[in-house]
């Protein structure tokens, strides 16, 4: 019931934000006029940038998989990540793509189930840490401008709370592992299951600092390549913004839209671009909306490629994966990992 209530709230927020964005007929006319005069060739380097970022992410994940003794070909890992992107885009919730990735990699390495789960978990953690570093640096570099406007100042505070909470969770999970507290966590502790899962991941990767560091370093250019898509969108619509402007705004927007506030960040992402670009650089509302939508549509393109791959996908043992099977198998595995961590036992495959 709780899940359905949260989903309903997300849908209502998304609908409300989209109504607010497209409520003004005059702005909609300006948006259409800008579309007619846009140089759409700028979308091509944006698509290439996302493609390059995906290739980096594939190598990052393969590094983390190898720590678990799971060896997957580059092409297979790429297909799994693209399929995960498709499910992230079209499923309500922030973890649909992760469920798919875990399920499909389990099919490739059935004797390394726990390792498959933890590789995806650590991959997310590494990406989050890289985003935190980039966001902090960009905010500091544009500090005076960001705090000079009421809305951007509020957004900076929000980002600080989000990143602080996320890093605090990571620190707590790390301490639980380092201090061997997994068997002592009280049942009433908020996010106890996720803390146990994170502690298990840190325990598994603690001796592979070099691999984790390399994965972190790969995350930095991957993030910047994703952020650059909004720059190419700005070029397409002659917004008069340079790369540093979009590198300031994009990490902030990505951090806030990572929260499950709206469905896939729809509406929220556009609203943030409108308010931040308008406040900092006097970008017209219609152009800010198009910059946001163009960057998003470039991601949609690769997600649709992932959808096509999913329709044709076969794992190494020729089974056809279904979403219900994926979700059930991953949830069962998560419970096993958490139970093992809570009892202080080493993870089983």
Q: What is the 3-state secondary structure (H, E, C) of 11-76?
A: HHHHHHHHHHHCCCHHHHHHHHHHHHCCCHHHHHHHHHHHHHHHHHHHHHHHHHHHHCCCCCCHHH
CA distance 131 to 129: 5
Q: What is the mean pLDDT of residues 199-215?
A: 83
Predicted confidence band of residue 117 (pLDDT cuts 50, 70, 90): confident
Q: Which two tokens stand for residue 118?
A: 């933890």
Cβ-contact 205, 122 below 8 angstroms: yes
pLDDT of residue 29: 93
Residue 193 — pLDDT band, cuts 50, 70, 90? confident
Q: Are 268 and 17 in contact (CB under 8 A)?
A: yes
Arithmetic mean of pLDDT, 290-317: 86
- Answering whether pTM is above 0.85, one says yes
pLDDT higher than threshold 60 for residue 346: no
Residue of 147 and 178 predicted with greater confidence:
147
- Weakest mean pLDDT among 34-38, 180-184, 293-297: 180-184
Distance CA 206, CA 204 (A): 6
């Amino acid at each position: 019931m709780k899940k359905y209530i949260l989903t309903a709230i997300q849908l209502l927020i998304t609908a409300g934000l989209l109504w607010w964005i497209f409520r003004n007929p005059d702005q909609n006319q300006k948006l259409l006029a800008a579309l007619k005069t846009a140089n759409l060739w700028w979308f091509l380097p944006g698509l290439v940038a996302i493609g390059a970022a995906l290739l980096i992410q594939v190598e990052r994940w393969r590094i983390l998989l190898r720590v678990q003794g799971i060896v997957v070909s580059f092409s297979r890992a790429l297909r799994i990540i693209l399929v995960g992107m498709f499910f992230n885009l079209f499923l309500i919730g922030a973890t649909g793509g992760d469920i798919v990735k875990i399920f499909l990699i389990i099919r490739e390495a059935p004797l390394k189930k726990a390792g498959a789960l933890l590789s995806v978990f650590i991959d997310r953690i590494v990406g989050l840490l890289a985003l935190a570093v980039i966001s902090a640096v960009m905010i500091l570099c544009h500090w005076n401008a960001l705090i000079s406007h009421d809305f951007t100042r509020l957004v900076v505070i929000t980002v600080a709370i989000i990143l602080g909470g996320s890093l605090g969770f990571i620190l707590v999970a790390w301490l639980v592992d380092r201090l061997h507290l997994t068997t002592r966590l009280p049942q009433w502790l908020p996010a106890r299951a996720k803390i146990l899962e994170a502690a298990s991941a840190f325990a598994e990767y603690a001796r592979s600092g070099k691999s984790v560091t390399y994965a972190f370093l790969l995350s930095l250019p991957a993030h910047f390549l994703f952020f650059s898509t909004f720059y190419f969108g700005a070029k397409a619509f002659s917004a008069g913004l340079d790369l540093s402007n979009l590198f300031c705004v994009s990490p902030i927007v990505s951090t806030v839209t990572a929260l499950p506030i709206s469905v896939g960040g729809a509406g929220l992402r556009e609203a943030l671009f409108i308010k931040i670009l308008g406040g900092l650089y006097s970008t017209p509302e219609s152009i800010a909306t198009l910059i946001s939508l163009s960057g998003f549509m470039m991601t949609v393109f690769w997600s649709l490629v992932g959808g096509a791959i999913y329709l044709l996908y076969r794992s190494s043992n020729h089974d056809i994966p279904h979403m219900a099977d994926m979700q059930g198998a991953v949830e069962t595995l998560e419970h096993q990992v958490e139970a093992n961590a809570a009892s202080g036992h080493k993870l089983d495959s």
